[in-house]
Structure 1
Amino acid sequence: MALRLLKVPTIATVLVASSGMYFYNRPLDFNDLSLIRFGRAAATTAVISYDYLTAFKHVQYGTEEYWALKSKVHRRSAERLRDLCCANRGTFIKVGQHLGALDYLLPEEYTSTLKILHSRAPQSSMEEIEQVIREDLGKEVPIIHWDLSTKRVLTMEFAEGGQVNDREYMKAHGINVNQISENLGKMYSEMIFIHGFVHCDPHPGNVLVQKCPKSNKTEIILLDHGLYQVLQPKFRINYCRLWQALIHRDMAGVERYSRKLGAGDLYPLFACVLTARSWGAVNSGIACVPVTLSEDVEIRTNAALYLPQINDLLNRVPRQMLLLLKTNDLLRGIESTLQTRASSSSFINMSRCCIRALARHKRSQSRSGRRRLQITLTESFHLWRLSMYELFLWLKGSVLGLGLSTLLAFLH
């Protein structure tokens, strides 16, 4: 019983590990003391753990009473975590927002409770805001302009729109859910694989969608540009090659580039964590095998069973990878809510960006004009082949494709 429920109290432990002091020339607030915040987190972890260990003692596993009680324990534990995040603020809010986006991994009671942090996180008082503005900008009321941004103050224009996981908003405004999911994937593939400059906090409260009033085109708006990661070129290229190996079911490549990224002999677990797929799906090809309910159950179960190994893995990989894993989790949570997870278009767009990034890297390393031309021609050929495959998939799923299939079946 304890093993099955192990992963939930561990979430609170993650919150403890993610916290720290963040003083920066500001008046002392006892709520900001590490000892106070750590003590509060430790107490919450202890209460949640005790609840899970004692609540089911007199209930038979698998009965209706058991499942009802389990849901209640999940709910009150999630509320305790939410209250902890609100009390400790800072990093705890960020971690809580992350957990609230993991629909594909955590129980619904947790994600629905923590989702409130996406749009209704605790707000600093006007006095606190004005104090930081006065200290950093020397103004009482700043004009909305980038010149007024500092290390602690990021001044942005107000943006209209609905959250990216709000299907009802998109339906009401005539926004295509599949198009949003595809464009969000394109945007992040460009940031990660080509530019190496990544917005690492895409929880639903930071990603808005709207129809532009002037052009009537659908727009994706990224908010909160305070957490970016610059990927080192060597890391970025190895990451590109790893994803190419995963997409093309190149298991030798998966092992090679996982090891280069720090996973060591835990490369199978690393591939599963990175893709949020089972090892069987990774071996069969993540671009070929759809996500099934049984696979989701397997992933949730293994997330609890392999927590020590996952913790070991996360301690091995570089910080750049930790932020990318967080970003992947948040994007995957959005896809899960929009019901567009593991679509073929996402892998095609990812492959396209990997091809471009690797070709650019090879050209930068070559001094021969002939060799650079050869690299460019090879790049063009691979991109053309991808486009042909994309056209094939479109035809296959279109009315024309269905008509041709029916005609061919009739002729045979």
Structure 2
Amino acid sequence: MLLSVGDDVRNGYDAIERTGRVAATLVLCINDYRTTLNQREKLEDAEEKEHVLKACHKRCAERTLKVLEKNGGIFIKLGQHLSAMNYLLPAEWTTTFIPLQDRCPVSSFESIEQMFRKDTGEELWDYFSEFSPEPIGAASLAQVHLATIKETGQKVAVKVQHPSLEQWSKLDMSLTSFTFSTLKRFFPEYDLEWLSSEIEVSLPIELDFRCEAENARRTKEYFARIPELPLVIPDVVWAKRRILVMAYETGRRLDDLEYLDSNGIDRDEVSATLARIFNEMIFGDGAPLHCDPHGGNIAIRKNPARRGANFDIILYDHGLYRDIPQSLRRSYAKMWLAIIDGDMERMKRYVTEVAGVGEDKFPLFASAITGRDFSVVSSSILKPKDASEQKAMSGALQDGLLADLVQMLGQVPRIILLILKTNDLTRSLDENLRTRQGPVRQFLILARYCTRTVFHEQLEEIRRRGSLYWPPNALRVLAAWLGLLRVEIKLEAFELWIGVKRMFGYKNSSVLGGMA
């Protein structure tokens, strides 16, 4: 009884301390920004204005980092997400949070044993003959241990949730929501409440590993129908709410270029394979979409026995998934075809269908979805990105477009936010591979999936008119098929050209015309 009262007192104190850290830092940062912005208005020199604002960004980011590390758990997850939002947040914030990608908490082996006993009703050693006391990897919400199943001798990876998350998750989500709503009250032009709303929806699902197990099973089953894609999803052995046991599949990071080169793994082929996998997830009928494909969730290993590619892509962490509705998938495909063709009127039409974005915000959304400056989007997106374009995009955000971008992201559907996130992460993976081919091959692969999606929609519409063999319908089918064939031939020709150049030792160049 006394022990229980003591625990309640300690937990109450810890809750007050967690809340106090967040509230105190929030007050300090709001006051710092208001003081800095008032001071900035009195300055005339542009460089000095920029200097005082950057210094404020840095101070506030460092204060916030300390709170995120102290509170841990969900706050680490939030910081990791913010560190990847370099299209939205100042560099002082994103770079300060980068250490959170590798500085994750590790729960004690004793607490893992206790949680296993509580969740399964068994002792850990009743089921496993071996279980590494130290995790082979730790993330914000969980850590992974190597183990061997006693009955079968199978080597497995055991993902266990940090036991403390269950105690603090509701309070931490409330504190996150309070933080963003308070920031909105003082700085209404920077409304980030949509971020906390998305966390409130997605986090409870990510914290239930049974959902992750089901996502992994669905993805494995779906891609089993496409054996030419070298994708490996570890088999699920069993899952509880806070414990997930999967087959142990290991590989190296995608950005380990030395490993790729020394094992004869072609970076361009890895890039193309990733494009096919994630376009299949977005445009495939009934395909589940993995919404967190960062570098730590994907591995690669050499597999000389595989036909075609000489490697496997291993996909981990299936907690954050979404299904894209068919109508959205089709409009999204038409939007991308319009972007690739440089057709502004069709772009505007389908951007409205996809995201509900009006003409005033259209250039901003087009840049956000493509990761390119609007001047490039409106001319030819097939051109490689250079330093001057990146500088122009950064300058545009500093010149006042940042507030517009924040407001726009608060208005688009949640599924579009996750697609944007997936796009950003896959673009980052591709950039880290440092391929030689430029963006042409990626866009041709994208165009193939988009054209197939539109082709199937056209067939449905034609069937509603009557038999496909009725002469007018047969002509419509032929026209739709020729549109698909045009893209297929163009991609096959480019693939052949790449193969010939590789055979003779030449570097790839982006020398293919537009899709029109």
Write out aligned runs for 1:311-330 (5 A).
311-330=406-425
Give the CA deviation at 1:311: 1.9
Give the CA deviation at 1:128: 5.0
Query: In 2, are the aligned partners of 1:98 and 1:203 still within 8 Å (CA)?
Result: no
Identity between Structure 1 and Structure 2 (%): 32
- Match 2:268 to one of 178, 181, 191: 178
Query: What residue is the counterpart of 1:353 in the other structure?
Result: 449
Higher relative contact order (Cα pairs below 8 Å, separated by 6+ residues): 1
Write out aligned runs for 1:265-344 (5 A).
265=359, 266-287=361-382, 289-304=383-398, 305-340=400-435, 343-344=439-440
Query: In 2, are the aligned partners of 1:211 and 1:219 still within 8 Å (CA)?
Result: yes
Secondary structure at 2:289's aligned position in 1?
Answer: strand
Write out aligned runs for 1:3-402 (5 A).
30=14, 35=19, 38-39=22-23, 42=26, 45-46=29-30, 49=33, 79-101=62-84, 114-126=97-109, 129-130=112-113, 133-134=116-117, 136-141=119-124, 144=156, 146=236, 148-195=238-285, 196-212=287-303, 217-261=310-354, 262-265=356-359, 266-287=361-382, 289-304=383-398, 305-340=400-435, 343-365=439-461, 366-367=463-464, 368-370=467-469, 371=473, 374=478, 377-378=481-482, 380-391=484-495, 394=498
Q: 1:174 to 1:392 in 2, by over 3 A?
A: closer
Query: In 1, are the aligned partners of 2:289 and 2:322 still within 8 Å (CA)?
Result: yes
Q: Which amino acid aligns with 2:447?
A: S
Give the CA deviation at 1:90: 4.2
Q: 1:197 to 1:390 in 2, by over 3 A?
A: same
Q: Which amino acid aligns with 1:94?
A: K
Q: Which amino acid aligns with 2:446?
A: M
Give the CA deviation at 1:137: 3.9
Give the CA deviation at 1:393: 5.5
Secondary structure at 2:244's aligned position in 1?
Answer: coil
Superposition RMSD on alpha carbons, in Å? 4.1
Query: In 1, are the aligned partners of 2:117 and 2:123 still within 8 Å (CA)?
Result: yes
Structure with greater strand share of residues: 2
Give the CA deviation at 1:274: 0.7
Distance 1:127 1:256 in 2: 58
Q: How many residues align?
A: 372
Give the CA deviation at 1:400: 7.0
- Choose 336-345 or 73-82, whichever is displaced more: 73-82
Secondary structure at 1:306's aligned position in 2?
Answer: helix
Task: Give 1 or 2 for the bigger CA radius of gyration.
Answer: 2
Q: 1:50 to 1:36 in 2, by over 3 A?
A: same
Question: Which 5+ residue runs of structure 2 have no aligned equivalent?
Answer: 1-10, 128-148, 150-155, 157-234, 507-516
Give the CA deviation at 1:112: 5.6
Question: Which 5+ residue runs of structure 1 have no aligned equivalent?
Answer: 1-26, 403-412
Q: 1:186 to 1:397 in 2, by over 3 A?
A: same
Give the CA deviation at 1:312: 1.8
Query: In 2, are the aligned partners of 1:355 and 1:379 still within 8 Å (CA)?
Result: yes
TM-score (norm 2): 0.60
